[in-house]
Structure 1
Amino acid sequence: MTKSGTESYDHILKLLLIGDSAVGKSSILIQFTDDAFDEDIGTTIGVDFKVKYLNVFQKRVKLTIWDTAGQERFRTLTSSYYRGAQGVIMVYDVTNKESFLNLNNWIKEVDSYATYEDHIKLLVGNKIDLADQRQVTKQMGEKFARDHNMVFIECSAKTRVGVEQTFEEIARKILETDSLLDNSAPVRLGDSENAVSLQGEEEEEKESSGLCC
């Protein structure tokens, strides 16, 4: 086990949050990492980045979670962030059918840019607290996930229902996939070859606006 600042960990995992703008990607992330929800959160400009530690299978896991912009104009920017990601969380808004229909485009993007052939994809239907505005049924989400070999969860970033489960589940699936752990060991002095490459990511984090959706 290696220490990062004051935290020790056994594995470091890189996750991406993707999906259309305004589906609640950043709200899910902030609820998970900061236990907070902001109705007036802005739109992500470029990429934002947060860290969270979990205990999974009696292992201490450091999650580095990248929140990407959903707008088309940022596609070339965010494509580079797929590099080294073991897991991708694909988010749609259950009250916005277009965001669900656009999942096919996101699947193509993931398959084009993902480093690991056997990366884990998890589908999240957000905003289930808005039940009277729902346009996408749970059954529709389950079918899409089944057809694309994805884990499926519905959640509410506002009420926190399903949020913790989302990240715990994808972390478990990654740890169960040996080929995704080849580069997940923490950096040790003199052992830089056996680590996820996050070079420059902290600098890139500083360049991101921190405005999210």
Structure 2
Amino acid sequence: RFCFNSFNFDSSMTIGLNFHSINLPIHKKDAVESVPKNKAGLIINSIFDFGGQDRFKPLIPKFLGGANGALLVFDLINPISFEQLKFWYDQLLEHADGSKIPKILVGSKSDLLDSTPRDKIIQEEVIKDFVKEKELDGFFKTSALNNLNVIEVFKELNNLMLRYNNTSYVVS
């Protein structure tokens, strides 16, 4: 949704690795008025979407090495995807110096919460405990279908990356 500003009903689970790149405009924090587009800077988002299949796991360290931030994404109505977060978190710590980069937890498919039995939904308390235990920088519920919080998550991650690197810029 973020890369193409549309929802694809035909999209399927990631097999292996998907890569996309998108630029976001940035400006100085203290700029009083908006910066003209030709004067604004850009922050380049190189987005790696890793599939969870075992045969592709040896590739993960090669792609995490230069990460400046991470979104840990799980399906709000799929307990297995939530359980797999520990693996991805550990990969970040080991291969991306994850202790020094911003990390945001993202619960996807929030549009399905109302039509899902309560016992199938990852409970808020469990999510909050994970965020606290792993010292993550935040949590967002998103819906690619409804375009809920998709752009906001990426703006927040980019602003955190800029802050972690002690810059005086923010995402426009």
Q: Highest relative contact order (Cα 8 Å, sep 6+), 1 or 2?
A: 1
**Deviates most, 55-64 or 160-169:** 55-64
Overall identity of the aligned pairs, in %: 27
Q: Give the superposition deviation at 1:86.
A: 0.6
Q: Report the count of equivalent residues.
A: 150
Equivalent in 57, 60, 76 of residue 75 of structure 1:
57
Summarize deviations over 1:46-94 as a string: whole Å, max 9, x none.
Answer: 2221111212454421211111112122100122100110111111111
Residue 76 of structure 1: SS of its match in structure 2? Answer: helix
> d(CA) in 1 for partners of 2:46 and 2:62?
15
* Amino acid corresponding to residue 85 of structure 1 in structure 2: A
* Partner-residue secondary structure (3-state), 1:130: helix
TM superposition outliers: structure 1 runs of 4+ over 3 Å = 56-59
- Aligned residues of 1:69 and 1:78 also touching (Cα < 8 A): no
1:95 matched to 2:95: no
Asked if the contact 2:92/2:98 (under 8 Å) is kept, the reply is no
Match of residue 149 from structure 1 = 135
CA contact (8 A) 2:23 2:43 kept: yes
Q: Could you tell me how far apart the structure 2 residues matched to 1:41 and 1:178 are?
A: 35
Could you say what the CA RMSD is over the residues aligned between the two structures, in angstroms?
Answer: 1.9
Structure 1 CA distance for aligned equivalents of residues 85 and 109 of structure 2: 16
Q: Could you tell me the TM-score, scaled by structure 2's length?
A: 0.79
Q: Is the 8 A contact 1:52 1:62 kept in 2?
A: yes
Contact 2:73 2:107 survives alignment (8 Å):
yes
Give TM-score scaled by structure 1 length: 0.65
Q: Is the 8 A contact 1:56 1:168 kept in 2?
A: no
Q: 1:144 & 1:115 partners in 2: Cα distance?
A: 19
For residues 57 and 118 of structure 1, what CA distance do their matches in structure 2 show? Answer: 23
Inter-partner Cα distance in structure 2 for 1:123 and 1:158: 19
Q: Secondary structure at the match of 2:92?
A: helix
Question: Gapped runs of 5+ residues in structure 2?
Answer: 29-40, 168-172
Indicate if the aligned counterparts of 1:47 and 1:78 stay in contact, CA closer than 8 A: no
